[in-house]
Structure 1
Amino acid sequence: MPFYTNPFTTIAIAAILLGSGNLTTAQTPHPQSNESSDSRLEGYDYTFPAMGTLVSLKAYGTDKASVQEIFQKVEQRVEALAAILTDYDPTSETRRLSPNAFNADVHVSPELWQVLLASDEWHRRTSGAFDSSLGQLTRLWRKYRQAGRVPPPEQLQQALSLSGWEQVRLNREAQTVRFLREDLRLDFGAIGKGYIVDAAYEVLVANQLECCLVNISGNMRCGTPPPGRGGWRIEIAPIAKGGTPLRRIEIASCAIATSGDLWQYQEIDGVRRSHILDPQTGMGVPGPIAATVLAPTATQADALATAACILPPQSMEQLVASLTETAILVASQRTSTEAITQKTYGTFPPDRSIQQGPHHR
């Protein structure tokens, strides 16, 4: 499949896709006056299923067999990390913390430790809007949403009482975690894919595939631009089905992520409620809403995309002002008859502009 049959890669809200690992050769665009142009490079696509979605890799290299081998290394890395971070598998390292870490210090793997540290950082930076301890709430909503119902208030309050990052203690010297609340359960749904995207990207760059893009359910990280282009072309999906894309932009050497309720929401008392939960209330945030974040890493972009759907504008302005190389676009619609509003924080690129970021290895 050529990269540029549709010249823009769409940032989509998570969708379930199935497939098997597949390497295809992409057409290289005609080189233009660009320093990164290299006529020897050829583009390759590779896709494989993981975490209930489809992982997409794009990279330019000089040898198909070598690129194939590197893509397979990425797939192995993704599968290993997904096995650690999933909250669906009761045997995963993340799930085993729930019964084992109550009033006990549990040593964790380096990978899980990095996600815990990132969760702690973004909980603090977002004043609690980002919270990886909502596992009991997400599990409850998952059960009732599948049945098309709303959790009873007493069950919602109970799940809320079993949540809260303040009940998690990290010992940085010993690399251990302790829960102060019994039955507290972690859920890395708002940061795990971003972390895995970063890990996949690092494998590609470590193997000299610096002209690359990793995409997992709208969580992306890209390297240097494709030959003959100023950046990777990204299309930001609409907040309503059948709508027009919010923006078409070009990015390079940075990460981008979108969170929102395009595919996952529920009508409750006449209000559209997202699957993104407000840690203060346990309820889904009102929609339609979507937040797209440009940041140095996919871990940061993933966490901030969730928080941006929850935080009020003033808090968002203060947060983005405290960060470097970060920009956020929040699109929302208060009622079906009102126009969609777009609010930007930081320097978010307009349509078809280029956002250059530092190259992270």
Structure 2
Amino acid sequence: MLKKFIVIFFLYCITINAQQVFNKTVKLMGCRFDIVVVADSENIADKHIYTAIQEIKRIENLISSWNPSSQTSKINLNAGITPVKVDSELFQLIKRSKKISQLTDGAFDISFASIHKLWKFDGTTINPPTKESIQLSVSKINFKNILLNEEKQTVFLKEKGMKIAFGAIGKGYVADKAKKLLQSEGVVAGIINASGDMNTWGEQPNGDPWKVAITNPMDKSKSFGTLPISNQSIVTSGNYEKFLLMQGKRYSHIIDPRTGYPTTGILSVSVIAPKAELADALATSIFVIGKEIGLDRINQLKNVECIIIDDEGGIHYSENIQINKNKTW
């Protein structure tokens, strides 16, 4: 699942007690990462940022479905054949993914990967997939057919042709893990921003919380509000930049795993949650289940909030969200 970087964050490099904000932008996992740390010097910051980069690369090698030697690829290769023993880290990620699938009634499903070849958003698709081909692919999508053996630490995809991928949760998971590692090394504050999947901790050197601006998807030069974020994650998913125009019709790049067809009605979703992994999965799910059910579901979750912008520019908030609204919207 592809997502564009539409979150803008404001960083204030103010020196207090010799601490400053240091920022490095790199390309990892095929997308833009902004790694921000508060440190006493540039040399110390560079070491911490390097540590985060190595952690991100490590996880990518574990969960990537594009790397033929990864454990994820081995699971896919053995679909319908035999269970695959995996590291505990990957096993637990898949286990949590299944729980989110249950929570969202299948709107989030890591086995959606079997439909990837039908809808391509790289300019190579000329005609929409046939109804028959979509139905065949959807028949392979079912999180209930991801069988986990806790004792043996194995993963088995029950049907041949099934595939799993972590495009709708992987970058959030990586942001969480990189944050946790830097915290363990004594980094007092920072941001891991994986193309809109952002996790924060601590505060700016002047004591202010990090400030995140949510971009207006209908005019990216403007934002409609800012959120103070500290020790929270925020993930923004948007479908207004990556889409297909075929035979006069606009197709979103976010696919409903239950039907195999692109979602409609929503331009962007921002979810605030304790962990980016959960926020990532929920943001994608809301595109699928729609704004009414999506808001209702979010309002039932503790410490989770969201902002939904529909395709007519309407803004919808969860019940307890706190946002400073801009007049430029």
**Structures share a fold, TM > 0.5?**
yes
Instruction: Give 1:1-361 correspondences, 5 Å limit.
Output: 13-14=3-4, 28-29=13-14, 38-142=16-120, 146-242=124-220, 244-267=222-245, 270-333=248-311, 339-351=312-324
Alignment partner of 1:262: what SS? coil
Q: Deviations over 1:222-261 (max 9, x none)?
A: 0111022431111112223546323222211100001121
| Contact in 1 for aligned 2:299/2:305 (Cα 8 Å) | no
| Contact in 2 for aligned 1:239/1:332 (Cα 8 Å) | no
| Shift in Å, 1:205 | 0.7
Unaligned runs of 5+ in 1: 1-11, 16-25, 31-37, 334-338, 354-361
| Contact in 2 for aligned 1:13/1:262 (Cα 8 Å) | no
Alignment partner of 1:43: what SS? strand
Alignment partner of 2:258: what SS? coil
Aligned AA for 2:198?
A: M
Identity %: 24
| Contact in 2 for aligned 1:74/1:200 (Cα 8 Å) | yes
Give the whole-Å Cα distance in 2 for the aligned partners of 1:54 and 1:285.
Answer: 25
Structure 2 length-normalised TM: 0.89
- Closer, same or farther in 2 for the Cα pair 1:288/1:146, shift >3 Å? farther
Q: Deviations over 1:318-357 (max 9, x none)?
A: 4223321100111012xxxxx411111232222269xxxx
Aligned AA for 1:347?
A: N
Give the whole-Å Cα distance in 2 for the aligned partners of 1:89 and 1:158.
Answer: 25
Give the whole-Å Cα distance in 2 for the aligned partners of 1:56 and 1:144.
Answer: 24
| Contact in 1 for aligned 2:266/2:290 (Cα 8 Å) | no
Q: Deviations over 1:243-294 (max 9, x none)?
A: 6323222211100001121221123565532111112210110145211000
- Aligned residue pair count: 321
| Contact in 2 for aligned 1:234/1:248 (Cα 8 Å) | yes
Aligned AA for 1:52?
A: G
Give the whole-Å Cα distance in 2 for the aligned partners of 1:133 and 1:281.
Answer: 13
Q: RMSD of the alignment, in Å?
A: 2.4
- Closer, same or farther in 2 for the Cα pair 1:145/1:120, shift >3 Å? farther
| Shift in Å, 1:14 | 2.0
Higher deviation after alignment, 190-199 or 50-59: 50-59
Unaligned runs of 5+ in 2: 6-10
Aligned AA for 2:158?
A: L
Aligned AA for 1:248?
A: T
| Contact in 2 for aligned 1:241/1:262 (Cα 8 Å) | no
